[in-house]
Structure 1
Amino acid sequence: MAHVTQDPPRVGWIGTGRMGFQLAARLLDAGYDVAVHNRTRAKAEPLTERGATVVDRPVDLADRDVVFTMVSASPDLQAVTTGPGGLLTSPDAAPGVLIDSSTVSTGTSALVREEAARRGTDFLAAPVSGNPKVIAAGGLTIAVSGSREVFGRIEPLLAALGRGVTYVGEDEAARLVKIAHNVFLGVVTQSLAEITVLAEKGGVSRAAFLEFLNDSVMGSAYTRYKSPALVNLDFKPTFTMPLLRKDLELGLSAARELEVPMPLAAATAQLVASAVGAGHVDEDFAALILEQARNSGITLVAEDVSVDDGLSPRDRAVGR
């Protein structure tokens, strides 16, 4: 069964994709004992060079003090926790604390929380704001919900992951915070694409327009961070269009449940779905600007100029 968390805790990490790999690496670099599992083992293997142990099944991490999960969607979280070979399926052991940093529905989160409680495992929802480059710059931010007492014990471990850790309430509150964050991400990015294409069709280069915007009161760490992609059409993915579509759908579902009208989010969700249908599935979601240009009757070309993304190890997190 679950055991008392040690100090420093022995850590398990499930999910070493673009984000999970970098975060597990930060814990290893901070000196924590970390064992990792990934569905495709080869993606986790490079962490052994930093001192990680790689295990074959999530359940092999059941004896760890704290286990993080960072997977793509709700079904994946259920699979790695309660599915065959799942973390919470061992008859002999269960982790002291399970921390999930995926972006999943509040319903799935509640189900996993309930199953964890049955095993004597404390559960914290801890979705994050950032991407691999933000993580490397030390700028990740985390919203956490669950028991405040458990949060108090785990906060030093979470603080090793990035710049800011915010306790937002009991139960699944952090899920709603992250979903709202990602809805805003989509709406802002679509709006940024629209005004940038408007300026370009009127004869202004994207580099010049975005330099002006970023230096104005309307600029932000996020608009500056996304400017190189928009100017030079470099859509190496930090977050893909299908993932953004999923989060917009989660946001609109929450809005229906809570009876909050979200017309801008609904319109953005349709535009993102259209971009997915047009084939933008592997690129970064900043490729929304390509669809905006196409709908505006122009074809964009890379401007091939150097654009500062505003990131340094001391800069704050800027989302995706």
Structure 2
Amino acid sequence: MVDTPQPLRVGWIGTGRMGFAMARRLARSGINLTVWNRTRSKAEPLAGDGARVVERIADLGGCDVVFTMVASSPDLEEVLAGPEGLLRKAEPKPQIVVDCSTVSVETSAAMRTTAAKEGVQFLAAPVSGNDRVVAAGKLSIVASGPRETFDRVEPLLRTIGSAAIYAGDGEIARLVKICHNLLLAAVIQSVAETAVLAERAGVPRATYLEFINASVMGSMFTRYKTPSLVYLDWTPTFTLELLRKDLDLGLAAARALDVPMPVAAVTHEVVQAALGRGHRGVDFAVLLLEAARNAGFEPAPETAQVDDGLGGNS
């Protein structure tokens, strides 16, 4: 008689904007999901999708795989290795930890070592997209660690997103994601500057962005940021503070590897200046507002209907 593999029991730590959307895709697919978040009320709606919400990280004991999606390197260290962390308190320990956060290579390596001491496999699996991209099923994931670990959790990754790419051993996925976010910063700043130039010449932002999105320069990113740039809607999907954190990580990696990055360095200064002017807790598309003000005018929201490329018009 052939044994039928049992479905994986999955735990989830961190239900901010991204973590909530990602965990919801697992819960709605019928995965046996147990969720913890520091502020329990932010995780409670997932109970309506079939997830079990628990009070303590230790309550994730017994899960086969635990995902983490937190804001920073110190947060990851706390939820995994802190006094009440998963690797200290959960019994039995999970077989695999999959971290989808954007953290430093050093923190990732330290958590991998800590997990190994507890007999737990660790997969670095940072993601590309925002909560609307997750909801549309278009999230991209890049992963690194043992190949067999990736193969085991790949079905879960492909439930969360549309692409799960194996990059290699160790922490190489962290560097790939940091490079991605350096490009993200340069692109949003370039789009902001060129949209302001076009507007200064009398071209509506909606018209300029419609052309860009239809051209070889268009991308999923330029499409889903178009409503923010046209309507001047700074509701956060990814804040300037988080963008600065990733620029810091990227420039530190560049220094360590002796790679000059003049565009990233200038973009870092632009982001820092915008933060200094008080743009905190808002979406990083607010860089358009600063570009316009630097050009001597105050942009106004436009009323044209635009497509976000995620299955709905705005």
Global fold match (TM > 0.5): yes
1:92 Cα deviation (Å)? 4.2
C-alpha distance in structure 2 between counterparts of 1:130 and 1:288, whole Å: 18
Secondary structure in 2 matching 1:160: helix
Structure 1, 16-25 or 223-232: larger mean CA deviation: 223-232
Check if 1:205 corresponds to 2:204: yes
Q: Which residue is equivalent to 1:223?
A: 222
For residue 311 of structure 2, give the secondary structure of its aligned residue in structure 1: coil
1:148 aligns with 2:137: no
Does the residue aligned with 1:89 lie in a helix, a strand or coil? helix
Query: CA-to-partner distance for each residue in 1:240-289, whole Å, 9 max, x for gaps?
Result: 00000000110000000111100000000110111111111111100000
Tell me the distance in 1 between the aligned counterparts of 2:215 and 2:47: 45
Matches of 1:31 and 1:136, distance apart in 2: 16
Aligned to 1:276: 275
**Higher mean C-alpha deviation, range 28-37 or range 46-55:** 46-55
Aligned residue pair count: 308
1:90 correspondence with 2:89:
yes
Superposed counterparts of 1:58-137, under 5 Å: 58-90=57-89, 92-137=91-136
CA distance in structure 1 between the partners assigned to 2:114 and 2:34 by the alignment: 22
Structure 1: distance between partners of 2:91 and 2:48: 30
- 8 Å contact 2:136–2:310 — kept in the other structure? yes
Q: In the alignment, which residue of structure 2 is the partner of 1:318?
A: none
Letter in structure 2 aligned against 1:272: V
TM-score w.r.t. structure 2 length?
0.96
Hey, what's the Cα distance between the residues in 2 that align with 1:296 and 1:62?
Answer: 56
Contact preservation (8 Å) 1:57, 1:86: no
Contact 1:116 1:122 in 2 (8 A): yes
Q: Which residue of 2 aligns with 1:191?
A: 190
Q: Give the TM-score, by structure 1 length.
A: 0.94
| Structure 1: gaps (5+ residues) | 1-5, 314-320
Distance 1:187 1:232 in 2: 21
> In 1, Cα distance between the equivalents of 2:91 and 2:54?
17
- Greater RCO between the two (CA within 8 Å, min separation 6)? 1
Q: Give the residue type in structure 2 aligned to 1:59.
A: A
Q: How far apart are the structure 2 equivalents of 1:282 and 1:226?
A: 17
Structure 1 range deviating more: 124-133 or 82-91: 82-91
**Structure 2 vs 1, CA of residues 303 and 91 (structure 1 numbering), >3 Å: closer, same or farther?**
closer
RMSD: 1.2
Q: CA–CA distance in 1 between the matches of 2:153 and 2:223? A: 33
Deviation at 1:62, TM superposition (A): 2.7
Distance 2:70 2:91 in 1: 25
Contact 1:144 1:167 in 2 (8 A): yes
Which residue type is aligned with residue 49 of structure 2? R
Paired residues for 1:7-22 under 5 Å: 7-22=6-21
Q: For residue 7 of structure 1, report the CA deviation from its aligned partner.
A: 3.4
Tell me the distance in 1 between the aligned counterparts of 2:120 and 2:210.
49
CA offsets 1:96-142 (integer angstroms, 9 cap, x no match): 00000000000000010000000000000000111111111100110
Counterpart amino acid of residue 231 in structure 2: N
Query: Where in structure 2 are there 5+ consecutive unaligned residues?
Result: none
Helix, strand or coil: the match of 1:36?
strand
Paired AA for residue 184 in structure 1: L
